[in-house]
Amino acid sequence: METIYYYQSPVGRLQLTANNDALTTLRIVNDCHCGLEPQSPAHTIIARTCKQLDEYFSGERKTFDLPLAPVGTAFQQKVWALLLQIPYGKTISYAQLAQSAGNPKACRAVGSANGKNPVAIIIPCHRVINTGGKWGGYAYGLDVKKQLLELEGVQ
């Protein structure tokens, strides 16, 4: 059984979904007309996620320590695992990510997998930029990507 919880963050309302074992999604849902949940979520993984998000947004946390279970293809899983290796406050290009994934010509496929990341922020797809330093796209808009990167000290 999955539990859904809404968390109000500096970048908008986040929908957190977890099963009994892991966080399965974190989506930004600013257009959601749903109410916010009580201050203290009862679900253990959701509560841990909220605490770590509070710490991240206050600048106290640089890495997340949560069980994750994003659903995707084997290639997407590989890309998402590589995203988890990008340090806080650092960025890499889609080309570098494709190289790390073992296929330097797979920039578009890597970009697609990056865009389908179901656990935004925690799996830091916002840290991937275009070659040459331009920020490129982001599933939740460039304003959110800019906020996250600036929070991490990336200019």
Catalytic residues: 125
Other CB atoms within 10 Å distance of the CB of residue 132: 8
Q: Please tell me the distance from the alpha carbon of residue 75 to that of residue 29, in angstroms, as a whole number.
A: 26
In the sheet with 12-18, reading across from the earlier edge strand, the strands are 3-9, 12-18, 23-28
Q: Which residues contact 47 (CB under 8 A, 6 or more apart)?
A: 40, 41
Q: Which residues contact 113 (CB under 8 A, 6 or more apart)?
A: 72, 73, 75, 76, 79, 80
Give the CA count within 13 Å in the CB-facing half-sphere of 17: 14
